[in-house]
Amino acid sequence: METSTSTLPPDFISTMQHRVATVAIGPSTLRNQGKGVIQATQEFLSRLPLARIPTSNEARFRDWLDRQTECLLDALPIKNRPWGAARKALNLFLRDALYNQYLNRHFQIGKVEPWLEVPLDSAVAKGLKRLAGRGKLPPWPGLKYLQKDTSDMYQAFAARYSACQGIARVHLDMYLWLENR
């Protein structure tokens, strides 16, 4: 029997978002990023206004994702600003929100599925570099040192490759992380 969100307790969706944020960002997700980073990230993602995700076009979505990355960096209790770690956390959370039937249905996250990024880490980068071929992608700098320009190169290749596979690039994480962990 399918449950309507109107019959659920008033706090169900917010509690589900908190759960997804906590599960998506576990101890191994952001290891070595600094004291308090995991908890601050989970709290930020638990409150992320998913209802405000722009669904009208990719450019607006990317601007929103860039702004949220900066907001997450501002919320971290550390002095350095690990852009790659913040972006990975957002991408993992959005992927898991897409995969969660309640959050996806409530916030219509499926509308942005084609624009979601593959969460980058060393395992995924290794797989993308192998698929791209020698010298086609820049060296992987490590999550702590990953910046937007390098991330964009990996994401552009991931988008081209996933299109050939008939899937959105966010789903490459499933394959590449499992193959290269």
More confident residue, 8 or 21: 21
DSSP for 85-99, please give it.
HHHHHHHHHHHHHHH
More confident residue, 1 or 30: 30
User: pTM of the entire structure?
Assistant: 0.93
Nearest CA among 169, 166, 136, 151 for reference residue 58: 169
Q: How do residues 26-48 score in pLDDT, each as one tens digit?
A: 988 887 777 889 999 999 999 99
Q: How do residues 56-113 score in pLDDT, each as one tens digit?
A: 999 999 999 999 999 999 999 988 889 999 999 999 999 999 999 999 999 999 999 9
